[in-house]
Amino acid sequence: MANNDFSTEVAENYEPKCFCILVLDISGSMNEIIENTSETTQTGQTIFVDGKTYNVVNGGTSKLDNLNKSLKQFYDNIESDDTMSQRLELSVITFNDNVTIVQEPSLISNCEIPILEANGDTALVDAVYEAIELVDARKNGIKVRIRHITVHG
């Protein structure tokens, strides 16, 4: 009788996969207040970002606050759906002056929700090109790691 050494490793997830990339703006303009509250106060300071001058205030809800809240809700919704949590492979790319892959392609159970902070200018085109390269790498079976790309204007 032959001694066959077959592996007992069994795949745990046979679900078809769907690759999703979130390309998120974390440039300084995302600090813009879009919902004022009675507690919003002017600081008397201004900043210049993406060709615009902004008044610096304390309080209110910023675009970034809404993005962080929506990102958490997105993760929670995927994680709570038994089918989608086994099918969706998620990657997150952020951009400001730089483009960063903050989440390599993974099932939601292996992802951490990033807490985003905004500053700098907007390198949207570079971020889209990085997303396209990430899709190409994924289609070709190339493992992608978290990385930071410096954008030179």
For the stretch 87-142, pLDDT in tens is: 999 999 999 999 999 999 999 999 999 999 999 888 999 999 999 999 998 888 77
**Residue 52: predicted pLDDT:** 80
Report the DSSP pairing between strands 88-95 and 18-25.
parallel
In a domain, 75, yes or no: yes
For the stretch 33-75, pLDDT in tens is: 888 766 777 777 887 777 788 777 777 888 999 999 999 999 9
In a domain, 46, yes or no: no
Q: How many CB atoms lie within 10 A of CB 101?
A: 22
Count the domains in the chain: 1
CATH number of 86's domain: 3.40.50.410
In a domain, 44, yes or no: no
Structural domain boundaries enclosing 73: 18-32+62-150
- C-alpha angle with apex 102: 97 to 104, nearest 5 degrees? 135
In a domain, 93, yes or no: yes
In a domain, 5, yes or no: no
In a domain, 47, yes or no: no
